[in-house]
Amino acid sequence: MNECERLMEYRSPSPVSREEAEEAFEKGSVDEICASLISVALHISDRKWVEAHIVAYLRHSDAVLRRCAAVSLGHSARIHGAVGPEALSALRDLLVDPAMSGSAEDAMDDIEMFTRSK
C-alpha cells in the first residue's frame, strides 16, 4: 500500500490519554504520531492543549506529519467549534506549499464550516 492509499484508509481512532499521546509525540513512529494527533483532536477536551501539539506538527519537516496535523486541526474545529489564531496561522502557511495545499484547504473548509464567531 502506498502512502496515499494508507492515508485514505479509514481507521476509527481509539481514545488515548494525554500521557499516551505525549509518549507517542516524543518516541513514536510516524504512524503512531498521526494516530495520536487524530485521537487527541477527537477525544481530548482541552482545545488549547490539543492545538499546541497540532501546531508543532503543522510546522514539522515531515510532510506526512504536516498532513496529519492539518486533518487533526479540521477534526478539532468540528469537535470544539473554535480554532486559535496560532493554529490558524500555521495552517495558512501550508496553503502555499503545493504538497500540502490540498490538506490545508480541506482543513480550512472544516474550520469555516464548524467554527463559530466568539
**How high is the pLDDT of residue 118?**
41
Q: Is residue 83 part of a domain?
A: yes
Domain region containing 97:
16-114
Q: Is residue 7 part of a domain?
A: no
Q: Is residue 68 part of a domain?
A: yes
Q: Is residue 11 part of a domain?
A: no
CB 25 within 8 A of CB 33: yes
pTM: 0.87
**How high is the pLDDT of residue 1?**
53
Q: Is residue 109 part of a domain?
A: yes
Alpha-carbon distance of 37 to 13, in angstroms, equals 10
- Phi and psi dihedrals of 11, rounded to 5? -135, 130
| Cell numbers given for 43 | 477525544
Q: Is residue 5 part of a domain?
A: no
**Interval 64-89: pLDDT, tens:** 999 999 999 999 999 999 999 999 99
Q: Which residues of the chain have pLDDT under 70?
A: 1-11, 116-118
Domain count, the chain: 1
